[in-house]
Amino acid sequence: MGMMISDKEGSWHDLSGPVNLGKQDFKPLLVKERKEKFSFSFGDLELTQIILPDIYIVFGDMALQHPNFHMRAEDLPDMVELHFSLKGNGYVHNEATGQRYVFDANRHNIMYVPAFDGKACYMDRERYEFFEVHFSRKYFLELARDTNPVLYNFAEKVDSKKEAHAGAEGSEITFAMHQCIREIMDCRFAGGLKLLFLQAKCIELLTLQAVDFEKSASPKKILTSAYDKDCIMYAREYLQQHITAPPTLAELAAIAGTNTFKLKNGFKELFNNTVFGYLSEVRLEQARELLKAGIPIKEVADRTGYSSVQHFSTAFRKKFSITPGKLHPFS
When pLDDT is cut at 50, 70 and 90, the band that residue 88 belongs to is confident
Q: Please state the rounded mean pLDDT for residues 162-185.
A: 92
Assign residue 161 a region (left: φ > 0; alpha: ψ between -120 and 50; beta: otherwise): left
Round to whole Å and give the CA distance between 93 and 113: 11
43-52 and 32-40 as β-strands: parallel, antiparallel, unpaired? antiparallel
Report the sign of the C-alpha dihedral through residues 264, 270, 273, 279, in that order: negative
Asked whether the beta carbons of 320 and 284 are under 8 A apart, the reply is: yes
Instruction: Assess whether pLDDT exceeds 70 at residue 9.
Output: no
| 282 and 268 in a common domain | no
Domain contains 221: no
Report the sign of the C-alpha dihedral through residues 267, 270, 273, 279, in that order: negative
Domain contains 163: yes
Looking at residue 327, its pLDDT comes to 75
Instruction: Assess whether pLDDT exceeds 60 at residue 181.
Output: yes
Model pLDDT for residues 307-326, shown as the tens digit of each residue: 888 888 888 888 888 888 88
| 182 and 98 in a common domain | yes
Model pLDDT for residues 63-86, shown as the tens digit of each residue: 877 777 777 776 678 999 999 999
Instruction: Assess whether pLDDT exceeds 60 at residue 220.
Output: yes
Mark which of 236, 257, 272 sits at the end of a domain: 272
| 148 and 98 in a common domain | yes
Mark which of 216, 235, 263 sits at the end of a domain: 216
Domain contains 193: yes
Looking at residue 65, its pLDDT comes to 75
Q: What are phi and psi of 112, to 5 degrees?
A: -130, 115
Asked whether the beta carbons of 54 and 106 are under 8 A apart, the reply is: no
| 301 and 203 in a common domain | no
Instruction: Assess whether pLDDT exceeds 90 at residue 200.
Output: yes
Domain contains 84: yes
Instruction: Assess whether pLDDT exceeds 90 at residue 158.
Output: yes
Q: Please state the rounded mean pLDDT for residues 248-275.
A: 90
The answer for residues whose C-beta is within 8 angstroms of residue 215's C-beta and 6 or more apart is none
| 254 and 300 in a common domain | no
| 232 and 193 in a common domain | no
| 137 and 261 in a common domain | no
| 93 and 64 in a common domain | yes
Number of domains in the chain: 3
Domain contains 299: yes
Q: What DSSP designation does 187 have? A: -
Domain contains 7: yes
Mark which of 170, 197, 216 sits at the end of a domain: 216
Round to whole Å and give the CA distance between 99 and 71: 14
CATH number of the domain bearing residue 48: 2.60.120.10
When pLDDT is cut at 50, 70 and 90, the band that residue 3 belongs to is low
Looking at residue 219, its pLDDT comes to 61
Q: Please state the rounded mean pLDDT for residues 202-225.
A: 85
The region of weakest confidence among 21-30, 128-137, 299-308 is 21-30
Q: Residue 263: give the domain boundaries.
A: 226-272
Q: Please state the rounded mean pLDDT for residues 281-289.
A: 89
| 159 and 291 in a common domain | no
127-136 and 55-64 as β-strands: parallel, antiparallel, unpaired? antiparallel
| 12 and 155 in a common domain | yes
| 283 and 159 in a common domain | no
Domain contains 72: yes
Instruction: Assess whether pLDDT exceeds 80 at residue 115.
Output: yes
Round to whole Å and give the CA distance between 223 and 188: 46
Looking at residue 22, its pLDDT comes to 43
CATH number of the domain bearing residue 290: 1.10.10.60
| 206 and 235 in a common domain | no
Average pLDDT value over all residues in the chain: 84
Strand residues in the chain grouped as ranges (E): 3-6, 12-14, 32-40, 43-52, 55-64, 68-73, 79-87, 90-94, 99-103, 107-112, 116-122, 127-136, 164-165, 171-172
Q: What DSSP designation does 116 have? A: E
Domain contains 61: yes
